[in-house]
Amino acid sequence: MIRLEKRPQPSRLWTLLSPILAVLLTMVVGGFLFAVLGADPFEAIRTIFWDPLFNPQFAAYSRPQLLVKAGPLILIAIGLSIGFRAGIWNIGAEGQYIMGAVAGAAAGLALYPSESPLIFPLMVLAGALGGWAWAMIPAILKTRFGTNEILVSLMLVYVAESILASVSSGLLRNPEGMGFPGSRNFREWEAAANLEIFADTGMHWGVVAAFIAVIGAYVLMARHIQGFNIRLSGEAPRAARFSGVNPARVVIFCLGTAGALAGLAGLFEVTGPAGQISIDFNSGYGFTAIIVAFLGRLHPVGILLAGLLMALTYIGGELAQLMLGVPGASIQLFQGMLLFFLLGVDVFTNYRIRIGQGVAA
């Protein structure tokens, strides 16, 4: 008989091993999936994971894209992971990302066509504030009324999407855009553009912010009392209250940080890679970042690696779509499966497998 025996502490080895095992499992099952879809599984896996980095024909285009896509994913996932550690489930990062972009873009466009060097910093600030304010709605409702933050933050994604649809064809529409929806293009407005810092690397200010967030989160979680309080609230809420941690403050801090980081990601995206506010500039980074946070074990360094890997599947997925005619949606399924397998494999982190009767404790 096979039994599970709870480990006194999560296994260190399996914490590191299970993401790798989950990726391998996803590759195997994904391979079958591609075979069913009529593509050579080995070629499909190679196209997704190898070609974007090393194929001489595509790498020149794909490598910079890696940072462009990983930047927002890492930035959002870092914020989410802090909340997840505390047992606060903000799953509305997509909404905070949109509102950050809208607020930042609005702040910039109000001053168009000024060429002041202060424009971009101002927009960054407004972007962070926009995301923060949107995340404060579930935070305050939770601390005041005990409302479930999962449902509220998720509902606010749909609200943010209808606001985005409204402003991109109304308030923020480009007056010189012949009536087409969408704002002015920020890439053509030097004071507000978030362009590559080094040519052909994909490194823009959002990626810099992501790296800073990784370091900041590491210091916070490993070295700072606030980080300790956050972990304590998640693992032993009662103990946290006895030691004087104010649960409401933890909620406000976690949701606020996540919202501000997601808002920043939105602003950097809209002034850089996306270029303008449009109805569909958001591409689901807020949801994929949830996978990134878990795959990275809610640890800043892990998230950095997981963000890069997830960016790779985006780019590789596009490439596979182009080269092998694999449907674009299959990559979405691929990413979802990755999270599923990870959660399944994690049983080894927290439990020992015992075969036979075992000795009674």
Q: Which residue ranges make up the site for another protein (CB under 8 A)? A: 3-4, 6, 89, 91, 141, 144-148, 150-152, 154-156, 158-159, 162-163, 165-166, 287, 290-291, 294, 327, 329-337, 339-340, 343-344, 346-347, 350-351, 358, 360-361
CB of 346 to another protein, least distance (A): 6
Cα R_g (the chain), whole angstroms = 22
Closer to another protein by CB, 73 or 191: give it: 73
Q: How far is CA 2 from CA 14, 21, 112, 352, in A?
A: 19, 21, 68, 10
Q: Whole-angstrom Cα distance, residue 166 to residue 176? A: 18
CA distance linking residue 342 with residue 20, whole number of Å? 9
* 360/214 Cα distance (integer angstroms): 44
User: CB-wise, 107 or 345, nearer to another protein?
Assistant: 345
Cβ proximity to another protein: between 78 and 88 the closer is: 88
Q: How many CB atoms lie within 10 A of CB 313?
A: 24
Give the list of residues 6+ apart from residue 224 with CB closer than 8 angstroms, or none: none
Tokens 């109000």 locate to: 110
Nearer to another protein, 187 or 352 (CB): 352
Cα 3 to Cα 59, 90, 359: the distances in Å are 48, 34, 12
Q: How many Å apart are CA 221 and CA 98, to the nearest integer?
A: 27
Residues 182, 276 contacting (CB under 8 angstroms):
yes
Q: How far is the CB of 120 from another protein (least distance, A)?
A: 28
CB of 167 to another protein, least distance (A): 8
Contact 173, 106 (CB under 8 A): no
Nearest to another protein of 152, 193 (CB atom): 152
The least distance separating another protein from the CB of residue 335, rounded to whole angstroms, comes to 7
The total of other beta-carbon atoms located within 10 Å of residue 228's CB is: 16
Residue 332 C-beta: closest distance to another protein, Å: 4
| Shortest CB 154 distance to another protein, Å | 5
Whether the CB-CB separation of 264 and 124 falls below 8 Å is answered with yes
User: What are the helix (H) ranges across 148-246?
Assistant: 149-168, 205-223, 225-235, 237-242
We find the least distance from the C-beta atom of residue 348 to another protein, in angstroms, to be: 9
Answer yes or no: are the C-beta atoms of 19 and 299 closer than 8 Å.
Answer: no
CB of 266 to another protein, least distance (A): 18
Which C-beta is closer to another protein: that of 1 or that of 225?
1
Q: Between 192 and 251, whose beta carbon lies closer to another protein?
A: 251
* Nearest CB to another protein, comparing residues 48 and 207: 48
